[in-house]
Structure 1
Amino acid sequence: MEREKMEKEGEGDETEQALKASGAEPLPEGRSGLILRGWLIESCHRSILTSLAVQEWEDKLGSSHLPEMVFGESSLLLLHVDSGIKIHFNAFDALNGWKQEALPPVEVPAAAKWKFRSKPFQQVILDYDYTFTTPYCGSETVELNTDKFGTRTVSGDGHCGLQWEDCEEGIDLVALASKEPILFYDEVVLYEDELADNGVSLLTVKVRVMPSCWFLLLRFWLRIDGVLMRLRDTRMYCSFGNEASVATIIRESCWRESTFQHLSAKGFPSDPAAYSDPNLICQRLSIVKQKTQKLTIPR
């Protein structure tokens, strides 16, 4: 126990030294994140929605269905202070994307029982996407400095007109693989549903900040045991470069999915237990859609 305590203290000292060497500033006590090279990066973890909040969300979304666990106040925020550009991730906007896209429900005979098991005496009409698959790739707003009042005002409703352009360049994997110290890392769960123990529907966002860049992965992961697996990944990468240059964010979005039947036909296991980690099987899934874009932020 004493050795473990000393190792943790040593790791803490190394992190503190790396923060100081990079010029990063940790956020005040009680907040999780840092300020580095003009970026404020902050994660927030909160408990699942209360029953009252669930009702409010259902009213706003126009749906009587929500995932079993919605972490409605949890979020990840990346704010470029000088330009006011704010990229953030939250459950409400993600579920709004699910509601608007409205994919047809996956055809599974038992699905109606999974989602309505608490209402066994009601007639079930499964007419919505019970997997909560979302096209969500983040929310965007612009915060403008107002010198007159010395405060910030928010412009935009998540569609603030940031100019993402299609591009050929991808994320710099060599830079990501370099042995830089990780100044900040966190994973935020936005919502989750276990499909009544018949699989998983999960939306998470992870962020990693190094002295030269930040990187994040927003992932929707679906596994309906014996039926289907689906991955919708959005990766964002920003290299800090030099102070005089512009900041560029690369965003890669990829939708993959395959049926268990298709995977079995290719010689892969049909046992759902073999597919607990999406990182290990993502390359086995067929690509449905993908695109790469960039956002240029003048310094």
Structure 2
Amino acid sequence: MSGRKVVRGGGINTIEVNAAREIHMRTVRARIPTSAAADKTSQRDFKTPASPLKTPARHVCNNPNNPPCSHCGTMIVPSPSASLPLEDFPSMTINDWTISTKKRPILNSQELEHWEKHELRGLTLPEMIFGNSFVRIENTRYGWTLQFNALDALKLVNLADSGIRVSYSKKWMDSKQKKQSQKSSSPSEFEMDDSSLQIAHHYDWTYTTRYKGTERCQNEKYRLKRDDTQSLPLDKLARPDHILFYDDMILFEDELADNGISILNVKIRVMNERLLLLSRFFLRVDNVLARVMDTRVCVEFDENKVMREFKEMEGDYKSLLARHRLSHSHDPKAALRDANWVAQNLPQIRREFETLIFD
């Protein structure tokens, strides 16, 4: 036993090194380009399928920021670019029609002061105004535009008392009158007369506006004309057409001192053959009333036809709440915060329809 020489170590280490070298050589060989013959064989065996023929899109996306469509038919959903101030100006052209939108933040203090002193004198402004945002539909051939913006909408707010009172106003006045009658007959410098108990507003504090858009044209011949016998092509608008362009924005909003909501927003969607715009003013005065003003604009691109429908709906708050309770048991007031549900369940009190066809 003592004459035998035992060699330890080296064996396992040698095997590991050789295995690593083989793996490295395989990796190197795999990176060496194959011969021309092998390339021909691979091309014969694997044929690239022919791409289907595509019909050129009729629209042109004019927005370089989001996203570059390049006639691919991809829906354009505007969003602010990564810059300050946040701003986006997406636009799309189909035939003679150009559709554009612009989103900006709410007005700053300097802009609000300018509006109060020069643009909307006598009106206390809503809490939030997106005064530099707009939606515009333009016929470039005839110089006709229809634009939706906050300033023109607020110019239609009545500068007189609307007569609408919050739900607790009567209780407040009754309480004040009761305290007044309980006072001693001796005069007091703090004594109030009946006129001091009257609540008066020198403007419509609900900001109700029957705004249908701002129409401008180079030729008076091309203006929307009233024709209540016509209606929107609901069958065409209900088709599942691919949406090329979509936007949704708020123009102004006010919570009426926590007594409800007053909001004006605009939505637009553009398809290959037509567009549909909805401008909706939604008012809810808690425990008093609900009111909806809907303006829908439809443009048929091939016919060069513009249609505008205006609907006014209004109803008592308690009646609307009772209608919801007939079919729902959970949180009935949640439905009254849904403008779509309210619009579907309010009685219509006015409808106007206008059309315009370009030669």
Instruction: Find out whether 1:61 has 2:96 as its counterpart.
Output: no
| 1:224 is the counterpart of 2:258 | no
Q: Which residue of 2 aligns with 1:77?
A: 136
Please give the residue correspondences for 1:88-237 in structure 2 after superposition, counting only pairs within 5 Å.
88-99=147-158, 102=160, 104-108=162-166, 110=168, 125-142=200-217, 162-237=223-298
Return closer, same or farther for 1:54/1:185 CA change in 2, 3 Å cut-off.
Answer: same
One-letter code aligned to 1:201: S
Q: Distance in 1 between matches of 2:60 and 2:238?
A: 24
Tell me the distance in 2 between the aligned counterparts of 1:66 and 1:137.
20
Query: How big is the shift at 1:86?
Result: 0.6
Per the normalisation by structure 1, the TM-score is 0.76
Unaligned runs of 5+ in 1: 1-18, 113-122, 145-155
The 1:131/1:91 distance shift into structure 2, 3 A limit, reads same
Aligned-residue identity in percent: 33
Query: Helix, strand or coil for the counterpart of 1:88?
Result: strand
User: Is the alpha carbon distance of 1:274 and 1:28 closer, same or farther for their aligned partners in structure 2, counting shifts above 3 Å?
Assistant: closer
Residue matched to 1:28: 63
Q: C-alpha separation between the residues in 1 aligned to 2:244 and 2:321?
A: 42
Two-structure CA RMSD over aligned residues (Å): 2.6
What is the rounded CA distance, in whole Å, between the counterparts of 1:111 and 1:73 in structure 2?
Answer: 35
SS in 2 for 1:129: coil
Cα 1:206–1:277 shift into 2, 3 Å? same
CA distance in 2, matches of 1:131, 1:143: 35
The question of whether the paired residues in 2 share the 8 Å contact of 1:58 and 1:65 is answered with: yes
What residue identity is the alignment partner of 2:217? V
CA contact (8 A) 2:92 2:98 kept: yes
Contact 2:222 2:358 in 1 (8 A): no
Cα deviation 1:209-254 (Å, max 9, x = unaligned): 000101100100011122211000000111123xxxx521111100
Residues 200, 23 of structure 1: alpha-carbon distance in 2 compared, 3 angstrom cutoff: same
More moved, 251-260 vs 55-64: 55-64
Shift in CA distance, 65/177, structure 1 to aligned 2, threshold 3 Å: same
Match of residue 52, structure 1, among 106, 110, 126: 110
- Of the three residues 294, 304, 311, the one matched with 1:254 is 311
SS at match of 2:236: helix
Q: Within 2, Cα distance between the matches of 1:90 and 1:262? A: 33
* Alpha-carbon contact 1:255-1:288 (below 8 Å) kept: yes
Equivalents in 2 of 1:58, 1:297: separation in Å? 39
Alpha-carbon distance in structure 1 between the residues aligned to 2:226 and 2:304: 14
Partner residue, 1:115: none
Identify if the C-alpha distance between structure 1 residues 106 and 46 changes in structure 2 by more than 3 Å, giving closer, same or farther.
same
SS at match of 1:22: coil
Matched, 1:41 2:99: yes
Shift in CA distance, 127/82, structure 1 to aligned 2, threshold 3 Å: same
Deviation (angstroms), 1:268 = 4.2
| 1:90 shift after superposition | 0.6
Mapped partners of 2:341, 2:280: distance in 1: 14
- Gaps in structure 2 of 5+ consecutive residues: 1-53, 66-88, 171-196
User: Quick one: distance in 2 between partners of 1:268 and 1:161?
Assistant: 48
State whether residues 147 and 215 of structure 2, in contact with CA within 8 Å, keep that contact through their aligned partners in structure 1: yes
Cα shift at 1:193: 0.5
SS at match of 2:354: strand
The TM-score, its normalising length taken from structure 2, stands at: 0.64
Q: How far did 1:264 drift?
A: 4.4
Q: Cα–Cα, structure 1 residues 47 and 210, in superposed 2: closer, same or farther, change >3 Å?
A: same
Secondary structure in structure 2 of the residue aligned to 1:92: helix
Worse overlay, 49-58 or 20-29: 20-29
Find the structure with the greater CA-based Rg: 2
Matching residue of 1:280: 341
CA distance in 2, matches of 1:97, 1:213: 29
Q: Flag the structure with higher strand content.
A: 1
SS in 1 for 2:153: helix
Which residue is equivalent to 2:23? none
Give the deviation of 1:94 after TM superposition: 0.3
Q: Which amino acid is the alignment partner of residue 248 of structure 1?
A: K
Question: Residues of 2 paired with 1:64 and 1:238: CA distance?
Answer: 34
Distance (whole Å) between structure 2 residues aligned to residue 279 and residue 129 of structure 1? 24
Work out whether residues 38 and 82 of structure 1, in 8 Å CA contact, stay in contact via their aligned partners in 2: yes
